[in-house]
Structure 1
Amino acid sequence: MIIKPKFRGFICTTAHPEGCAQQVRNQIDYVKSQPAINGPKKVLVIGASTGYGLASRITAAFGAGADTIGVFFERPSSGNRTATAGWYNTAAFEEAAREAGLFAKSINGDAFSNEIKQQTIEMIKREWGKVDLVVYSLAAPKRVHPETGEVFSSVLKPIGQTFSNKTVDFHTEEVSHISIEPATEEEIRHTIAVMGGEDWKMWIDALQEADVLNEGAKTVAYSYIGPVVTHPVYREGTVGRAKNHLEATAHELDKQLKKIGGEAYVSVNKALVTQSSSAIPVVPLYISLLYKVMKEKGLHEGCIEQMYRLFNERLYTGGEVQVDEEGRIRIDDWEMREDVQAEVSARWSKVDSDNLKELSDIEGYRRDFFQLFGFETDGVDYEADTEANVTIQSLA
């Protein structure tokens, strides 16, 4: 079929297999162009099919020569419906890993469930014995609690008072004002349950109890802080409460893993275009301005550059891991540089629909969004007939 992007709100309902494969190859080529990492050899990535999770898997495999197991929840193609982008990403990654002589297997299912945790543990025991690194990079709007069966749904809302500020529709390039009503206590509780650290701890508890963590094993989960302008809807909002819980969990897990000489960290990463960030009011406008400023200063990074720097300059330097006063790894250090934030703030006060293209990189934002789904990627013929039914070999 000839596959074109189709949208429903901020979600693209189609994905292009060739475009996704090319995006994966581009990330692999970047990592292979960098110095090798003296890193982990057996890596489990929970949330491995897109964004930072996928970039972590690529960095571990092609930067450190690691064997990897990826856990995710993606949908294969069916009839005239394409597979999800994460499905195509994983198929392309596994193929490249096999060609490079690297072990790569995947598990598709609800990572919040006890069944998938057990299935993963059985695969680790059968294939490896033990794991060196566990990356936790799950991003989901809902979670069914594995013990109680309660269904939690996360929300992106401020806490305590209504929040009003500028935002942009990156499809129409229209800058407008938006107001978001504050979250209820129940919505806060739900968001923490979905996006906090409970499930991360359940994974580590299960892996440790099954004795599949190597001596000195590390685990890392991902967070975001961002600038003052986004704090009311992000860091000081419902998501921020969840991230606080995630970071508190890291300290708890770090003490727990000390028994085997291990470590647990939260890495605070840079703002990037993702399906999640595109749905958060205010954030797309901030990212568009940030991209322009960081590109002008030669500081811009995508997921793969961020994850390579995390592995190479923080987690696996051979020495002590560099953290901030809260014990967090800061890979958002270039984003949060004083000169970068001062310039973004100055542009924020001026930006409107008329000067958006001049002050921001809205076109770069839009292109990055399309590329999440395999579209607008150099080297791909989008007019060609494309086979949408792609197999992930390890799931066959």
Structure 2
Amino acid sequence: MIIQPRVRGFICLTSHPQGTAQHVKNQIEYVKSKGTIENGPKKVLVVGASTGFGLASRITAAFGSDAATIGVFFEKPAAEGKPGTAGWYNSAAFENEAHAAGLYAKSINGDAFSDDVKQQTIDLIKRDLGQVDLVVYSLASPRRTHPKTGVAHSSVLKPIGQSFTDKTVDFHTGVVSDISIQPIESEEDIVNTVAVMGGEDWKFWIEDLKAAGVLADGVKTVAYSYIGPELTYPIYRNGTIGRAKDDLEATVPLLNKLLGDIHGTSYVSVNKALVTQSSSAIPVVPLYISLLYKVMKEKGIHEGTIEQMQRLFAERLYADHTPLDEKGRIRVDDWEMRPDVQEEVAQLWQQATTENLDDISDIQGYRDDFFNLFGFNFPEIDYDADTNELVNVPSIAG
């Protein structure tokens, strides 16, 4: 079938198998160009492995240190005449590239919050790898059915205490406008968001993996967070999502205690603002990112997800010394948060209008990154050509 992008708001309803494969290949080539990660991981589990930072982590582990990888995700395969999700095609492309390079790569498609998928993963590790020495936790989901209580929780993106009004942009049209978001109506909004996006499920994973004996001595585990600039605090770090991130970060000492007898260590890595399916849904963030991209590209310090993850692995997780901030977090948002970068972004923020956006921002770079997520806007791909939508992940039937 011929697959073109169909967009509704911040979601692209279609994805392109050849385009997503190109996206994966580009990331692999970048990691290979950086050379071998000294003392890198060899047997890796990535929970949330099909897009964004999780996919980039899997690529970095595999092609940066020849690691065997197991990826867990919840994606929809293609049906005849209907493309699969981008994450499904990403995972198919990754496995094909890994297998061609002689690397072990298998995947599990299902609800990573469930006990059943955790057990499937444990069984696969026992059967094929014995133990893993790195667990990456990179889940991004709007909903979670709690495996112990059966309660379905849905996260919300809201400020706490008072409404929030500021600029935003429709990145498709380039129209800059004001947006107002009402605050939470009850503490239940916070409870639900923390239940979905906090650290409890990460802790459940590590508890179950350790109890099953599939964590190697000296294992590392890392989850991903974001802080961002003050202008996004009301909607992000000081809002409901921020409470969830606080909970995620508070899980680190609990996991370090749990892993102490096997000399394991847990980390939260605070990453840079980037175009992901999740960040595109957050008001204010697309405008901030388009301005940030402009500034960082002009300074020669821009990074995408793969550059961030390669630097995290090579210069933080597997360096001789892992530098941490005052709260015990890894910071690979350090270039984003440089005072000179933030000062310039803040100045541009005040100036930003629909009329001048193309001149003072990298809104086109934002659009390209957004469509790249779904396999579009790659010059190597002929999007008017017929393509086979029925692509399978090799290790998963169907």
Q: Structure 2 length normalisation: TM-score? A: 0.99
1:120 matches 2:121: yes
Structure 1 counterpart of 2:316: 314
> Which segment drifts farther, 98-107 or 248-257?
248-257
* In 2: Cα distance, 1:181 partner to 1:257 partner: 41
* In 2: Cα distance, 1:287 partner to 1:251 partner: 32
How do 1:139-178 residues align onto structure 2 when only pairs under 5 Å count?
139-178=140-179
How do 1:192-203 residues align onto structure 2 when only pairs under 5 Å count?
192-203=194-205
| Structure 1 position 223, deviation (Å) | 0.1
* In 2: Cα distance, 1:239 partner to 1:125 partner: 35
| Structure 1 position 113, deviation (Å) | 0.1
Q: 1:221 aligns with which of 220, 223, 231?
A: 223
Structure 1 counterpart of 2:68: 67
Structure 2 counterpart of 1:188: 190
Over residues 268-315 of structure 1, what are the superposed CA-to-partner deviations in whole Å (9 max), with x where a residue is unaligned? 000000111111000000000000000000010000000000000000
* In 1: Cα distance, 2:221 partner to 2:277 partner: 24
| Structure 1 position 251, deviation (Å) | 1.8
| Structure 1 position 378, deviation (Å) | 2.1
Structure 1 counterpart of 2:289: 287
| Structure 1 position 78, deviation (Å) | 1.6
| Structure 1 position 107, deviation (Å) | 0.1
Structure 1 counterpart of 2:361: 360
| Structure 1 position 75, deviation (Å) | 0.2
Structure 2 counterpart of 1:28: 28
Over the matched positions of the two proteins, sequence identity in percent amounts to 67
Over residues 208-251 of structure 1, what are the superposed CA-to-partner deviations in whole Å (9 max), with x where a residue is unaligned? 00010000000000000000000000000000000000000012
Structure 1 runs of 4+ with >2 Å offset: none
Whether the 8 Å CA contact 2:80–2:389 is kept in 1: the answer is no
Letter in 1 for 2:302: H
Letter in 2 for 1:290: L
| Structure 1 position 348, deviation (Å) | 0.5
Over residues 143-194 of structure 1, what are the superposed CA-to-partner deviations in whole Å (9 max), with x where a residue is unaligned? 0000111000001110000000000000110000000000131111100000
SS of match in other structure, 1:393: coil
* In 2: Cα distance, 1:325 partner to 1:136 partner: 22
> Which segment drifts farther, 8-17 or 302-311?
8-17
| Structure 1 position 79, deviation (Å) | 2.9
1:251 matches 2:253: yes
* In 2: Cα distance, 1:320 partner to 1:172 partner: 45
1:212 matches 2:214: yes
| Structure 1 position 255, deviation (Å) | 1.9
* In 1: Cα distance, 2:8 partner to 2:379 partner: 25
Letter in 2 for 1:324: D
* In 1: Cα distance, 2:9 partner to 2:290 partner: 19
| Structure 1 position 320, deviation (Å) | 2.6
| Structure 1 position 90, deviation (Å) | 0.5
Q: 2:263 aligns with which of 240, 261, 264?
A: 261
Letter in 1 for 2:53: Y
Whether the 8 Å CA contact 1:251–1:265 is kept in 2: the answer is no
Over residues 319-367 of structure 1, what are the superposed CA-to-partner deviations in whole Å (9 max), with x where a residue is unaligned? 2311100000000000000000000001001111111111110010011
Letter in 1 for 2:190: I
Over residues 33-56 of structure 1, what are the superposed CA-to-partner deviations in whole Å (9 max), with x where a residue is unaligned? 012102010000000000000000
1:273 matches 2:288: no
Structure 2 counterpart of 1:99: 100
* In 2: Cα distance, 1:304 partner to 1:234 partner: 23
Letter in 1 for 2:213: D
Letter in 1 for 2:237: R
In structure 2, runs of 5+ residues without a counterpart are none
| Structure 1 position 9, deviation (Å) | 1.9
In structure 1, runs of 5+ residues without a counterpart are none
| Structure 1 position 80, deviation (Å) | 2.0
* In 2: Cα distance, 1:202 partner to 1:172 partner: 42
Letter in 2 for 1:256: L
| Structure 1 position 374, deviation (Å) | 0.2
| Structure 1 position 258, deviation (Å) | 1.6
* In 2: Cα distance, 1:158 partner to 1:354 partner: 29
Over residues 58-110 of structure 1, what are the superposed CA-to-partner deviations in whole Å (9 max), with x where a residue is unaligned? 00000011000000000001232100000000000001100111000000000
Structure 1 counterpart of 2:376: 375
Letter in 1 for 2:306: I
